[in-house]
Amino acid sequence: MRFPRRQDAVLTDVSVRLAPGEQLIVVGASGSGKSTLLQTITGVIPHSVVASLGGSVRLGRTFTADTSVVELSRLVGVVAQDPSSSVCLPDVEQELALPLENRCIDPALISARIDRALDAVQARMLRHRSTAQLSGGEGQRIALAATLIAEPAVLLLDEPTSMLDAAGLGAVRRAIRSAVDTYRPAVVLVEHRIDEFAGTGGIAGLPPRALVLGEAGTVIADGPTVDVLAQHGPSLNRNGCWLPLETELLAVTGCSGGLGEPAVRAGIRSLGEPVRALGRRQNFGRNVLTATDLTIDRGGGACVRAPSGTATPVLAGVSLTLRGGEIVAVLGGNGAGKTSLLLTLAGLSRPSAGTVTGARPGMIFQNAEHQFVEHTVRAEIRHGLTLDDDELRAILQRHRLTHLAEQSPFRLSGGEKRRLSVAAMLAHDRPVLLADEPTFGLDRRDTIATLAALGRAADAGCSILFSSHDLRTVATLADRVIVLADRTVIADGPVFEVLRLNEVLNRAGLVLPPLIRHLLEEFSSDAQIRRVLGQLDAAVTTGEGTK
């Protein structure tokens, strides 16, 4: 199987040959053409998307350009990025049966194969569910099962784990490995969260071969993952790719071997020096938002009628205060009620009991697209405000949106959409900013830029409450954390104190990333932990200079 090919702008001169059973991970910064590469293999390019394709892709004896996408599906299985659009039918069973029916598999065999595919992703209990009830992570596992069930010769995985927690991630990794062991498909994986995907095994948990795409979609490196990451780690790190921790530490400290290696640990220690006082103020302003004894029902709010008294509330007995200039992170497992809490604090959804007092907060949503109201970036920022040209220009510049001012918000890249949604909200100068998973799905560079923007707003006195599942982000930014579990707040306190409470983390189903665990053990001073995390982020070129 080979695809030597040439395409202007997006991909250039990419030639790859994959043998059955070979696993490839494609690494590159946002916009380097990773997804495009997958689309050329499925045949979506050139069949469904208008693009000029030079060169060719061959699967066995089949050339993709001569064969329709549907016919290619006999050979290629795809797990697409967004699980809500890769699970297409009303019931889980139907979803899994469809690929088999399409391949004319004997109906008598289908039920057993559905069970086997669900077992492979550890989702047997979802068999009789309707797909509308699935959470993002569950949907992602079903989408993978629906792809594995047909045993395609080529398996393409486009960020198959973006919505999974640690347990789900392990299930996906094992499912892919067992598929490779049983029927030897060639695997091409594109993954943002490389470090999480690799798991505790580090680089050994990744596909053994890596392909690095650079700007304009050229192949920078192609070879064994260990070697490729060792050689290109520093430049990938600078370019804002998420990398396995040991590669990132290699890039920053110059020593290989990860946290287990004394030299690396010494390197981290030296990053914590010289100790400086925490950059941020520790004395926060007066209370700007107070919530007292909130009870929140699912689906509360003006438009949807809440079945009063029938359902158990999502959250009960929640009281909290936010002080001016303070950054607070809300933690909790999937379904713990983080979004519901934010919507209630924002005044968008009515609590069934309790009160929220304080000035009207601003809020940014997990999917930035939900917020967009106007047809250009410029109008989007002006929306709901009267800004003169100078003010607008300053905002555009501060958030690096000047060159995009006339574009449609919907046509921006993921990182640009996030910048715009943050810029448009901050322009309102509200005393409180609520943010629901503000760094979700962003590459490292955009993550750092988003955190920097939130940090600047807090420095200017805005109080920030954000939800996140990424504890490294939380440790980098938050002053204080609130942990939700068992339908209420189980901890509320300074970030590094709470992250040291193992019992609280276990109860909320949170797992400390190895780096954060190490830093908490290594350093007693919060300032040092912050400094190390800051130094690690500083190794990434963000395009806005260091703060």
Partner 1 sequence: MTSELITTRTGAAPTRPPGNLLSRRNPTIKLALLFIVSLVLMFIFDPITPLVLYLLALGAIAATARIPVKAFVLAHIPFLAFALGLLIVNALSRPGDVLWQAGALRVTTEGLLVGAALALRTLVIGVLSIGFVLSTDGVALMTSLHQHARLGSRLTYAVLAGYRMLEDLPREWQTIRHAHAVRVPLRANGKPPRSLRQYGRAAFALLVLSIRKGERMAQSLESRGLGLTPRSTWRRIPLTRTDWAMAAAVLTVLGVVVGLSALLGVLRGYQVLG
CB of residue 357 vs partner 1: minimum separation in angstroms?
13
- 3-class SS letters over 404-432: HCCCCHHHCCHHHHHHHHHHHHHCCCCCE
Structure tokens at 149: 């069930």
Range 48-67, binding partner 1 (CB under 8 A)? 48
105 is a site residue for partner 1 (CB under 8 A): yes
Phi-psi domain of 279 (left: phi exceeds 0; alpha: psi -120 through 50; beta: other): alpha
Residue 99 or 233 with smaller CB distance to partner 1: 99
Per DSSP, the three-state class of 130 is strand
Cα-Cα-Cα-Cα dihedral sign, residues 420, 423, 427, 429: positive
The one-letter code for the residue type at 428 is H
The only residue of 154, 424, 478, 482 in contact with partner 1, by rule CB under 8 A: 424
The only residue of 42, 340, 463, 473 in contact with partner 1, by rule CB under 8 A: 42
211 is a site residue for partner 1 (CB under 8 A): no
CA-to-CA dists, residue 242 to 277, 443, 448, 525, angstroms: 29, 7, 11, 27
373 is a site residue for partner 1 (CB under 8 A): yes
The only residue of 198, 315, 346, 484 in contact with partner 1, by rule CB under 8 A: 346
383 is a site residue for partner 1 (CB under 8 A): yes
137 to 166: interface string for partner 1, x by CB under 8 A: ------x--xx--x----------------
Per DSSP, the three-state class of 363 is strand
CA-to-CA dists, residue 451 to 147, 165, 346, 371, 446, angstroms: 36, 22, 20, 19, 9
Location of structure tokens 């595919």: 117
Using the 8-state DSSP alphabet, how is residue 360 labeled?
P
398 is a site residue for partner 1 (CB under 8 A): no
Beta carbons of 41 and 62 less than 8 angstroms apart: no
Q: Which stretch binds partner 1 (CB under 8 A): 10-18, 159-167, 340-348, 442-450?
A: 340-348
Q: Which stretch binds partner 1 (CB under 8 A): 41-49, 247-255, 491-499, 511-519?
A: 41-49
CA-to-CA dists, residue 81 to 70, 148, 282, angstroms: 19, 16, 40
Q: Which stretch binds partner 1 (CB under 8 A): 29-37, 263-271, 296-304, 478-486?
A: 296-304
CA-to-CA dists, residue 366 to 311, 351, 414, 440, 481, angstroms: 26, 21, 11, 7, 19
425 is a site residue for partner 1 (CB under 8 A): yes
The only residue of 15, 52, 102, 355 in contact with partner 1, by rule CB under 8 A: 102
Beta carbons of 499 and 471 less than 8 angstroms apart: yes
Residue 203 or 427 with smaller CB distance to partner 1: 427
71 is a site residue for partner 1 (CB under 8 A): yes
The only residue of 19, 50, 61, 104 in contact with partner 1, by rule CB under 8 A: 104
User: Which residues bind to partner 1, rule: CB under 8 A?
Assistant: 42, 44, 48, 69-71, 73-74, 76-78, 80, 82, 84-91, 93-94, 97-107, 110-111, 128, 130-133, 143, 146-147, 150, 301, 303-304, 307, 311, 343, 346, 348-349, 360, 362-363, 365, 367, 369-373, 383-384, 410, 424-425, 428
